[in-house]
């Protein structure tokens, strides 16, 4: 059974999912099964790569426990339960990076990421805020949550393997 430990480290909240290894392998296998299939689409072609890989929720039921944990964390961070959740995968091959951007476009209240595959040197997440940038090294089983208005980027993947994560946005339901 997995448990989520959540620690605020302004301007971010860092979560650690204990007992994540088996769960991660199952979700990675499901991603690989659905990648390129009829229930997948990609968006946001930036810097030569698609930043977002969308897989229809019903096509990947293995993600449900992760979505439940992310939703629980968002409720704790925001202090409210009336939240809608959107998610997508981020696949980053060696040599790729994500440009600086934010998630303010849809009245979002909280953004986040969960790391599935993080080889060494796969690129830190950099969150920009008034006190200066915060650099977060991705780790398998780690959640990171932050305000959607904060610009963020992912440095170049300098490993020889892919990096895989699941990103989230939370807004008001209805």
Q: Is the pLDDT of residue 1 over 60?
A: no
Residue 94 to residue 120: CA distance in whole angstroms: 11
pLDDT of 105 reads 75
Q: Is the pLDDT of residue 2 over 70?
A: no
Comparison of pLDDT for 104 and 77, the residue scoring more: 77
pTM equals 0.95
Contacts of 54 (CB under 8 A, 6+ apart): 40, 41, 42, 43, 88, 89
Q: For the chain, give the mean pLDDT.
A: 94
Q: Is the pLDDT of residue 106 over 60?
A: yes
CATH fold of the domain at 3-172: Jelly Rolls (2.60.120)
Contacts of 130 (CB under 8 A, 6+ apart): none
């Amino acid at each position: 059974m997995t448990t989520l430990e959540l620690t605020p480290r302004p301007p971010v909240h860092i979560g650690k999912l204990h007992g994540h290894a088996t769960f991660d392998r199952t979700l990675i296998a499901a991603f690989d099964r659905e990648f390129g299939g009829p229930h997948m689409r990609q968006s946001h072609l930036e810097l030569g790569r698609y930043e977002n890989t969308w897989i229809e929720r019903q096509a990947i039921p293995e993600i449900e426990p992760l979505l439940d944990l992310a939703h629980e964390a968002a409720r704790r961070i925001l202090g409210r339960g009336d939240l809608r959740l959107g998610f997508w995968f981020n696949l980053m091959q060696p040599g790729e990076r994500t440009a600086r951007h934010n998630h303010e476009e849809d009245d979002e209240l909280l953004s986040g990421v969960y790391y599935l595959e993080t080889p060494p040197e796969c690129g830190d997440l950099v969150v920009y805020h008034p006190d200066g940038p915060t650099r977060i090294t991705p780790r398998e089983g780690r959640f990171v949550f932050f305000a959607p208005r904060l610009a963020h980027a992912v440095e170049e993947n300098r490993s020889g393997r892919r990096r895989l994560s699941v990103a989230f946005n939370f807004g008001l339901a209805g």
